[in-house]
Chain A
Amino acid sequence: MDIQLLDQALQSQSCIDFVASGDVGGIAVFIGTVRNCTKGKPVLRLDFEAYEPMAVSELKKIAIQAKEQFKVQKIAIHHRVGSLEIGEMAVVIAASAPHRDAAFEACRFAIDTLKQTVPIWKKEIFENGEVWVAAHP
Chain B
Amino acid sequence: MKLKILAFGITKEVVGGRQLEIEIREGVATEDLRGFLLEKYPAFQKLATFAIAVNNEYSQENTLLKEADEIALIPPVSGG
Binds A, one of B2-10, B29-37, B60-68: B2-10
Whether B47 lies near A118 (C-beta < 8 A) is no
Is chain B's binding surface mostly helix, strand, loop or mixed? Answer: loop
Determine which of A32, A79, A90, A119 lies in contact with B74 in the assembled complex, contact meaning CB atoms within 8 Å.
Answer: A119
* Shortest Cβ distance from residue A45 to the other chain B in the assembled complex, whole angstroms: 15
Chain B: number of interface residues, binned into ranges: 10 to 19
Main secondary structure of the interface of A (DSSP, over half): mixed
Q: Report how far A51 CA is from B57 CA in the complex, Å.
A: 11
How many chain A residues have a CB neighbour from B under 8 Å?
29
A-side residues, CB < 8 A to B, are 32, 48-51, 53-55, 57, 79, 90-91, 111, 114-123, 132-137
Point out residues on B near A: beta carbons under 8 Å: 6, 8-10, 46-48, 53, 56-58, 72, 74-80
